[in-house]
Structures are given as C-alpha cells and as structure tokens.
Structure 1
C-alpha cells in the first residue's frame, strides 16, 4: 500500500511538472514575439533574452525529467520513489517557479536555496550509485564507508560545477544573465562582484553535499559495525 501511494504521487507530480513545462514553452514563444529587446528597465521586466532562456530551460526540463525512468530501464536499478519525487519537485522549483514565475528575483536567495537542495539530492544519488556497484555481483567490490562518502561528495560538487559551466556557456552564446554578472539595469559587474554569484553557488553546493555525505558516512559506518557483530555472533554459534 505504501509503495502504491508513493508511486501514484510520483506519477501525478511527474505529469503535472511536465505539462507545466510544455505550456510554459508555448507561453515563452508568444512572449518572445512581443517582448522588448535590449536591457530591462527594472529587475522584474522581461526582455527577449529572458524568454530565450525560459524556452531553453523548459525544453531542457522536458528532456531531463525522463532521466530517472531511462536510468532504471537501462541499468535495471530501482531509484526510490521519494528520490524521484524530490527530483521532479526540484525541476518544478528551479525551472517553473525560478524561470517562468521569476522567483530568482522575487524570492531572496532562491538560487542558493535550490543549490543547497540539489547538492543534498545529488549527494544522496552518489550513495545510490555506489550501492548499485556494491550490489553488482560480477564486479565483486565492497567499498569502505569513507570512500563511498568521498565519491558521493565529489559527484555532487562535480554536477554543481558542470551546471555552472552550462550557465556560463548559455550566457556567452545566448546573451542571458544566468550567472548574474550584470545588474537589472544592464550594468556589467567587474572583478570580485562579477564572479560572486558563481562562487556562492559552488560553495553552497559543497556545503550541502558535505552535510549529506557526512550523515551518510556515519550511517554506513554504523551498518558496517552491526554487520561485523552479526558475523561474529554467527561464528560463535
């Protein structure tokens, strides 16, 4: 019953987010045709480059939302429904609320909140990946809790860094302002201020990943000790 409940919720959230992203693409295409060019006059005004970014983000979301099911089918692993639900909610918060509803400007520190959330989620995913390899009999490997935590941490931080590379390329090619190197009135930042948004994101990614992987490490360490005790009891019997 519990499995079916989570599965129904997962499917509902999946289709809700996907439909919202598809509708947002059509909305952004229409607004692109009537939006002004150049720099916005204030932080809430949308110009053509903003709608280009919105279209790009929504199209990317419509593709990556299918990743969990593709991974499960290709590698024959079971991703917990709760993790898939968190993943779909992250896409909803990052793309629909962040880009379409403009939460990145309306809600203070919305970007940092999402980076912290994504780092925690990616850290948990790193543990899941290692667990998959540990349970694969033909590989015949058993990794220590420290190495598992280290891999999960590096995996989460690397994914966060790749995202920053994506933002940099999008800003360079499409003329967007994902890395906040420019103020709302079009003033281009220089020096330390120009990279502050990027570095804050990476630092938050690292902190979020460190917290989750530290918790995961101690949980694995306790499980390992319990397993050793159980083996010891069986030998004595």
Structure 2
C-alpha cells in the first residue's frame, strides 16, 4: 500500500512538472512568434512563424490530452495503473517538449521514429488493458479469446497511429506547419515519393512495433489460459479415475 501511495505521489509530481513546462512553452512560443520572420527559414536552425505556431499547437494539445487518463477514470470508472499513466506523461514530455520545443526532431537522429515505436508499444499495451477492463465488467459480459484480445490491441494501436497522421496532415494544411516533415530543416520542400517518406515510415513503425507487443501479449495470454485450465483438467482426470474405480 505504501509503495502504491508513493507511486501515485510521483505521478502527480510528474503531471504538474510537465503541465507547467508545456504552459511556459506556450508563453515562450507566443513571444517568439511576434519576433520570428515569416515564410521559409533561410538559415540553418532558424525558426519561422509557422514553427512557433506548431509549437503552440502541440503544447496546447498536450495540456489537454494530459488529462485523458484522469477523465477516463472519472467518467468510465477505468482504473488506469499509475505506472501506465506515468509512461504516458513521459511520452508527452518527449514528443512535445523535447521534440517540438527543444527541437529534438532535428537535433537527435531518428527521434521521430523512436517516439512512434514507443507510442505503438504503449498503445498496444493500452489495448490489452482496455479489453481486460471490458472482460472484468459485470455489465458487458465479455470473455474474449487471446487471439481476439491481441487483434483488438493491434487494431487499436495501429488506428491511433493513423489518426495521428491525419492530425498531422490536417494541421499542415490549415496552419502551414511541417508536422509531416515534407520540408527539411534547411527549408527544402520535398516532392513526389520523398514527400511521402516520413508518413509511410511512421505508419510502418507503428504497425511493426504494435505487432511485436501484440505477439508478446498473445503469448502471455495463452500461457495464462493454459495455467487456468490445468486445475480443471486435473479435476476431470480425477473424476474420471474415481468413476472407473
């Protein structure tokens, strides 16, 4: 019990720190937006107005979605594990604060790919958790087999990845941002097959990483199912032996 309280305390501290960082980043980006040049960057590392628009958008979205676990617990009675919430907060920190505000997407090689792999694994695990919650619900009366649980988790993680790509495309079209990385850090606009590279890479990484965590989850569920069936099988064998005697 003490360990659980300590974990909950760390979760609250992590939540507050990340929320404050995102709020301060919105203020910072708003100030820099008024000073930044318009159009396309002409110098390496120079940020233009569209970059700060993207920074503000991402931080505001982060400040909203960081409340999703708490809202799910309050409205639907889902008891999201504290550790899973902390991993979710850390992902938002890495994706938004480090990725957009500190510009890790350009500073750190494969940062975007790492985050997509991380998010696919996290969402796949969340898919397993949601099915487990529905299986334990007294109103739904679900008892899904390991294959269908794994299939749901895979579809859930992959769909979330696709929705994210749609969000990136929509933001780029409406706000003139560069979330889909169709333009390099030096301002070179990609075209044709090269322009599709980032989006297709993200979707492929999402699917592959989701498939990996789903395979691990499926193997674990099958092992647990066999363990549950062993006492029943022994009982049947004992009953059969008794009847024969």
Could you say which residue in structure 1 is the equivalent of 2:120? Answer: 119
Q: Is contact 2:29-2:52 (8 Å) kept?
A: yes
Deviation at 1:234, TM superposition (A): 4.6
- Superimposed CA distance per residue, residues 66-116 of structure 1 (whole angstroms, 9 cap, x where no aligned partner): 000000111112111110000000000000000000000000000000000
TM-score by length of 2: 0.94
What is the RMSD computed on CA atoms of the aligned residues? 1.2
Larger Rg: 2
Could you say which residue in structure 1 is the equivalent of 2:242? Answer: none
Counterpart-to-counterpart distance in 2, 1:109 and 1:4: 36
Deviation at 1:43, TM superposition (A): 4.3
Counterpart-to-counterpart distance in 2, 1:70 and 1:32: 32
Could you say which residue in structure 1 is the equivalent of 2:133? Answer: 132
Deviation at 1:140, TM superposition (A): 1.7
Count matched residues.
237
Could you say which residue in structure 2 is the equivalent of 1:166? Answer: 167
Counterpart-to-counterpart distance in 1, 2:233 and 2:138: 23
- Superimposed CA distance per residue, residues 5-52 of structure 1 (whole angstroms, 9 cap, x where no aligned partner): 211111111001000000000000000010111111244211000000
3-state DSSP of counterpart to 2:231:
helix
Counterpart-to-counterpart distance in 1, 2:44 and 2:114: 20
Counterpart-to-counterpart distance in 1, 2:218 and 2:182: 37
Q: 1:43 to 1:87 in 2, by over 3 A?
A: farther
**After the TM superposition, which residues 1-237 of structure 1 pair with which residues of structure 2 at under 5 Å, given as runs?**
1-234=2-235, 236=238
Q: Is contact 1:42-1:184 (8 Å) kept?
A: no
Deviation at 1:230, TM superposition (A): 2.2
Q: Is contact 2:106-2:185 (8 Å) kept?
A: no
3-state DSSP of counterpart to 1:219:
helix
Name structure 1 gaps, 5 residues minimum. none
Q: Is contact 2:172-2:178 (8 Å) kept?
A: yes
Q: Is contact 1:41-1:184 (8 Å) kept?
A: no
